[in-house]
Amino acid sequence: MNSEAVVAKKKFGQNFLKDGSVLNKIIEAMPKNDNKIVEIGPGLGDLTKFLVNVKSVEAFEVDTDLCELLHKKFAKEIATKQLHINCGDVLEAWKSELVDEPYDLVANLPYYIATNIILKALADPKCQNLLVMVQLEVAQKFCANNGDRVFGSLGVITQSVGEAEIVVIVPPTAFDPQPKVDSAVMLIKKHSSRTDSGFETLLRVAFSQPRKTAIKNLSSSYNKALLAEIFDSLDLEHNLRPHQISTTDYHQLYTKLKTGSLDGRGKPKYD
């Protein structure tokens, strides 16, 4: 089978990037280091072709038809070990680390599992940077700052482990077939990795009802009087909505709740 004969499979989120100027922008924005590249979903290999020119690439592709095509197309790069293709579901292959050396994730991600993949990469200690194409709305959540309407737990988690920015917004016309929504390439430079599940439980509770105040949401799971004391000690108004609290304040709130748990009051009621 050649690239022209391929019919895109919706169930695998196949929207192939055809715009050469966007491919160039991705290559230009790649972090300059010696890390390996991990590409999830090489598809027809349009981005892979650029990546193997600059770095060695470990690719994960779920579609067996595309795996076959890629093996033919990149026979030389596979023989020289510049490219290795893992055929199968990346989420099944991903334990705590996806590969056993430092890597940057560079990919036009399948949108139906993009958030899950990014969260796994943020938790993977071997992943140092992410340069990924996702739905614009998803990129905006990961890149949001406190005060932004879309600032939520994804923004707090990202700011806890690094810095995120949108590199370029990409219209549907850049793809074949065209998705229904705008996309964006975003860059996340990590300085650490997610580890604390207790902190993420707190975020889930704090953002459970975004229009309500953060303290009201939190008091469904944590001691009300202790929360009021902590909010006062951090100079946080009790009427703040969850998106109006900064990442630093969420961490301080969590630390103080954990300390409070020594006297039994900071323990989540339902954990």
Phi, then psi, of 61 in degrees rounded to 5:
-130, 125
Tell me the C-alpha distance between 48 and 66, whole Å. 13
Question: Measured from the CB of residue 204, what is the shortest distance to ligand SAM in angstroms?
Answer: 24
Q: Strand ranges (DSSP E) for the chain?
A: 16-17, 36-40, 57-61, 83-87, 103-108, 127-135, 162-170, 175-176, 183-190
Question: In angstroms, how far is the first alpha carbon of the chain from the final one?
Answer: 52
Question: Measured from the CB of residue 155, what is the shortest distance to ligand SAM in angstroms?
Answer: 24
Indicate whether 41 belongs to the interface with ligand SAM (CB under 6 A). yes
The residue from 6, 12, 212, 247 that contacts ligand SAM (CB under 6 A) is 12
- Token reading at 104: 């940057």
Stretch that binds ligand SAM, among 34-42, 119-127, 160-168, 250-258 (CB under 6 A): 34-42
- Token reading at 253: 């709130």
Question: Measured from the CB of residue 112, what is the shortest distance to ligand SAM in angstroms?
Answer: 7
The residue from 30, 37, 43, 188 that contacts ligand SAM (CB under 6 A) is 43
The residue from 57, 85, 106, 110 that contacts ligand SAM (CB under 6 A) is 110
Q: In what order do the strands lie in the sheet with 103-108?
A: 83-87, 57-61, 36-40, 103-108, 127-135, 183-190, 162-170
**269, 221 Cβ separation under 8 angstroms:** yes
Question: Measured from the CB of residue 176, what is the shortest distance to ligand SAM in angstroms?
Answer: 8
For residue 5, CA distances in Å to 60, 74, 221, 249 come to 21, 17, 55, 54
Q: Which is nearer to ligand SAM, 74 or 199 (CB)?
A: 74
Q: Which is nearer to ligand SAM, 63 or 104 (CB)?
A: 63
The residue from 57, 63, 106, 153 that contacts ligand SAM (CB under 6 A) is 63
Count, residues near ligand SAM per rule CB under 6 A: 24
The residue from 38, 51, 60, 230 that contacts ligand SAM (CB under 6 A) is 60
Residue with tokens 């953002």: 207
Question: Measured from the CB of residue 126, what is the shortest distance to ligand SAM in angstroms?
Answer: 18
Interface residues with ligand SAM (CB under 6 A) are: 12-17, 40-44, 46-47, 60-63, 66, 89-91, 108, 110, 113
